[in-house]
Amino acid sequence: QVQLVQSGVEVQRPGASVKVSCKASGYTFASYTITWVRQAPGQGPEWMGWISPDNGNTDLAQNLQGRVTMTTDTSASTAYMELRSLRSDDTAVYYCARSMLDGGTSRFDYWGQGTLVTVSS
């Protein structure tokens, strides 16, 4: 069965960096884009961007460009999201999701369990 398992809770100071991992199993990792979505407390989800594991191509949300890097290690079936220069408003649960691309549309059909990142001095 398809599973995405994320790394654990993170507490970081403002200005620091965080790197969240997402290990996939149960499917061919290189065949599906991985999307990163975050959700601040009490808010709706926010798309951060996605990465194609087969070629490393990314499409990142403009408001995060320059602070976020998405990478994959296909040998380990793992995706990574690194966010730098953390601010208090980066406090959120961060999710990875498998993206099914089909006939020009996309959908997030499997999700990781989420990683809480708290930014606090």
Partner 1 sequence: DIQMTQSPLSLSASVEDRVTIACRASQSIGSYLNWYQQKPGKAPELLIYAASSLQSGVPSRFSGSGSGTYFTLTISSLQPEDFATYYCQQSYSTPLTFGGGTKVEIK
Residues lying near partner 1 in the complex (CB under 8 A) are found at 35, 44-47, 59, 61-62, 95, 97, 100, 102-109, 111-114
Measured from the CB of residue 1, what is the shortest distance to partner 1 in angstroms?
A: 11
Strand order in the sheet with 78-83: 3-6, 18-25, 78-83, 68-73
25 versus 74: smaller Cβ distance to partner 1: 25
6 versus 78: smaller Cβ distance to partner 1: 6
State phi, psi for 29 to the nearest 5 degrees: -55, -40
In the DSSP assignment, the letter for residue 65 is T
Measured from the CB of residue 13, what is the shortest distance to partner 1 in angstroms?
A: 26
Measured from the CB of residue 104, what is the shortest distance to partner 1 in angstroms?
A: 8
C-beta separation of 61 from 70 below 8 A: no
13 versus 44: smaller Cβ distance to partner 1: 44
C-beta separation of 47 from 35 below 8 A: yes
Measured from the CB of residue 22, what is the shortest distance to partner 1 in angstroms?
A: 12
45 versus 67: smaller Cβ distance to partner 1: 45
| Cβ partners under 8 Å of residue 29, min gap 6 | 53, 72, 74, 77
